[in-house]
């Protein structure tokens, strides 16, 4: 297909203008997708072949276990009551060994089935188009597909692997890009605040290597997604997943997995059933497999939100606050102690990292905040505000669980 298109274009020397440019752009885009399909089909075939070999091994193992069990049963039947009694402990030990061998084989096959399904989904997966237009400072308009992906660089991969191996310190630096998944990034950052939370996140990601010990991709398990364990295979990251910081990290792997798991990709939750514009409580359940507790700002008992935030932070649980539809600029305290008037983004999720009787400290997943009098100037992502200002701007506090 690619050769015939190229040949057709090369024979049309007199063809010029916008129509030819549009044709070339379309042909190039189609060829790229054809190449992806071709590579994906090869990857899918290899995954099925690997599953076949595992299945054959498990069947052989189970048949061997069954033969040993039959032999043990025959020996038991031939024993006298006295011999059965004297060898009771030994027989139980052999049965326990056979049971464990069977359970191990069953677990291996189950894991291989989950991995194969994840690889097949990724191999034949295209992030749905999510086209947006942006006006540049020079007035020109450009079209962006928020679903575009790219490969990890060697440096990014090594950094991710190093942090996965040692979750004792922060796993990533949140820097939300153009995709509307603040609920995911704020929730991930909430788990990132405690060592137990980081250990849980690290266990959700498993690197895959081929027979030559070359890195292939990451398996990401979402314990609570779609009612059960959802395993996603990730081999790339989203081009527009990060903001000013273009460095991909562990959060980028989670982000791609989360978006792959949604049929609408980077589009909104409703009606496309994408990964954007959801609620932190749902996302925390996807991450942990357990329900999160929501305390809403109902007006008559606002202190319930303060109590939920303080108790959650003291218990080292992941805590997220979601802003209201209507928010207003607020004077806050930055980490260096200065006072600044910043914009509180409406319908946005923030990570709660501190809370006491004096106020609440939050992190904007954008990686920064905008000054009220000059939005082009960015200030620190972390800030502390009074409870009075918090009640005026935020609609709920969500406290998640760590398994």
pLDDT at 176: 95
Q: What is the CATH number of the domain that holds 362?
A: 3.90.70.10
Active-site residue flag, 41 = no
Task: For residue 58, give its domain range.
Answer: 19-123
Other beta carbons within 10 angstroms of residue 167's beta carbon come to 19
* Of the residues 253, 275, 290, the one at which a domain ends: 290
Q: Does residue 280 lie within any of the structural domains? A: yes
pLDDT at 1: 44
Asked if residues 171 and 250 have their Cβ atoms less than 8 Å apart, the reply is yes
- Angle (CA) 39-42-48 rounded to 5° is 140
Residues 298 and 350 in one domain: yes
* Of the residues 233, 264, 290, the one at which a domain ends: 290
Active-site residue flag, 192 = no
Output the CA–CA distances (angstroms, integers) from residue 221 to 150, 244, 338, 384, 396, in the order listed. Answer: 21, 28, 41, 34, 28
Cis bond leading into 271, ω under 30°? yes
pLDDT at 36: 76
Residues 250 and 274 in one domain: yes
- Taking the C-alpha atoms of residue 322 and residue 278, their distance in angstroms, rounded to an integer, is 11
Q: Does residue 12 lie within any of the structural domains? A: no
DSSP state of 370: E
Other beta carbons within 10 angstroms of residue 239's beta carbon come to 17
Tokens of 200: 């849980």
Catalytic-role residue among 200, 240, 262, 348: 348
Catalytic-role residue among 189, 242, 364, 393: 364
Residue 312 burial class via C-beta count within 10 angstroms: exposed 0-12, middle 13-18, buried 19 and up: buried
Asked if residues 49 and 120 have their Cβ atoms less than 8 Å apart, the reply is no
pLDDT at 7: 61
Residues 255 and 157 in one domain: yes
Number of domains in the chain: 3
Active-site residue flag, 182 = yes
Residues 395 and 283 in one domain: no
Q: Does residue 94 lie within any of the structural domains? A: yes
Average pLDDT taken over every residue of the chain = 93
Residues 280 and 304 in one domain: no
Residues 297 and 247 in one domain: no
Q: Does residue 144 lie within any of the structural domains? A: no
β strands within 159-291, DSSP E: 205-209, 215-222, 230-234, 237-238
Other beta carbons within 10 angstroms of residue 176's beta carbon come to 25
Q: Does residue 381 lie within any of the structural domains? A: yes
Q: What is the pLDDT along the chain (403 residues), one digit of tens a residue?
A: 445 555 666 667 678 788 878 877 777 777 777 877 888 899 999 999 999 999 999 999 999 999 999 999 999 999 999 999 999 999 999 999 999 999 999 999 999 999 999 999 898 888 898 999 999 889 999 999 999 999 999 999 999 999 999 999 999 999 999 999 999 999 999 999 999 999 999 999 999 998 899 999 999 999 999 877 799 999 999 999 988 667 999 999 999 999 999 999 999 998 899 999 999 999 999 999 999 999 999 877 889 999 999 999 999 999 999 999 999 999 999 999 999 999 999 999 999 999 999 999 999 999 999 999 999 999 999 999 999 999 999 999 999 999 9
Residues 165 and 282 in one domain: yes
Q: Does residue 11 lie within any of the structural domains? A: no
Residues 333 and 211 in one domain: no
Q: Does residue 10 lie within any of the structural domains? A: no
Residues 284 and 308 in one domain: no
Residues 276 and 155 in one domain: yes
Catalytic-role residue among 115, 182, 262, 369: 182
Q: Does residue 51 lie within any of the structural domains? A: yes
Angle between helices 280-288 and 182-191 (to 10 degrees): 50
* Of the residues 230, 262, 290, the one at which a domain ends: 290
């Amino acid at each position: 297909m690619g050769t015939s298109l190229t040949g057709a274009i090369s024979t049309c020397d007199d063809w010029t203008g916008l129509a030819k440019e549009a044709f070339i752009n379309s042909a190039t885009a189609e060829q790229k997708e054809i190449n992806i399909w071709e590579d994906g089909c090869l990857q899918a075939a290899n995954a099925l072949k690997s599953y076949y070999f595992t299945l054959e091994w498990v069947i052989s193992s189970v048949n061997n276990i069954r033969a040993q069990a039959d032999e043990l049963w025959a020996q038991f039947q031939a024993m006298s009551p006295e011999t059965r009694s004297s060898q009771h402990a030994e027989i139980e030990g052999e049965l326990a060994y056979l049971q464990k061998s069977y359970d191990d084989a069953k677990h291996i096959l189950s894991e291989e089935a989950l991995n194969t399904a994840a690889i097949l989904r990724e191999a034949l997966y295209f992030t749905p188009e999510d086209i947006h237009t942006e006006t540049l400072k020079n007035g020109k308009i450009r079209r962006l597909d928020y679903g575009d992906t790219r490969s990890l660089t060697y440096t990014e991969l090594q950094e991710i692997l190093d942090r996965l191996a040692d979750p004792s310190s922060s796993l990533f630096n949140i820097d939300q890009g153009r995709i509307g998944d603040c609920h995911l990034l704020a929730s991930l950052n909430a788990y990132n605040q405690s060592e137990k939370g980081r250990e849980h996140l690290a266990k959700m990601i498993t690197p895959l290597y081929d027979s030559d010990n070359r890195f292939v991709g990451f398996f990401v398990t979402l314990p609570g997604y779609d009612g059960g364990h959802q395993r996603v295979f990730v081999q790339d990251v989203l081009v527009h997943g990060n903001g000013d910081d273009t460095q991909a990290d562990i959060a980028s792997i989670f982000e791609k997995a989360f978006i792959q798991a949604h049929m609408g990709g980077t589009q909104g939750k409703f009606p496309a059933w994408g990964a954007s514009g959801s609620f932190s409580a749902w996302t925390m359940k996807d991450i942990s497999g357990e329900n999160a507790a929501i305390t809403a700002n109902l007006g008559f008992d606002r202190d319930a939100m303060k109590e939920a935030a303080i108790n959650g932070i003291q218990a080292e649980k992941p805590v997220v606050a979601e802003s209201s539809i209507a928010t207003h600029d607020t004077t806050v305290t930055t980490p260096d102690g200065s006072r600044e008037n910043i914009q509180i983004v409406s319908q946005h999720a923030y990570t709660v990292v501190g809370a006491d009787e004096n106020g609440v400290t939050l992190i904007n997943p954008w990686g920064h905040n905008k000054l009220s009098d000059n939005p082009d100037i960015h200030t620190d992502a972390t800030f502390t505000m009074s409870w009075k200002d918090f009640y005026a701007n935020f609609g709920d506090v969500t406290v998640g669980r760590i398994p």
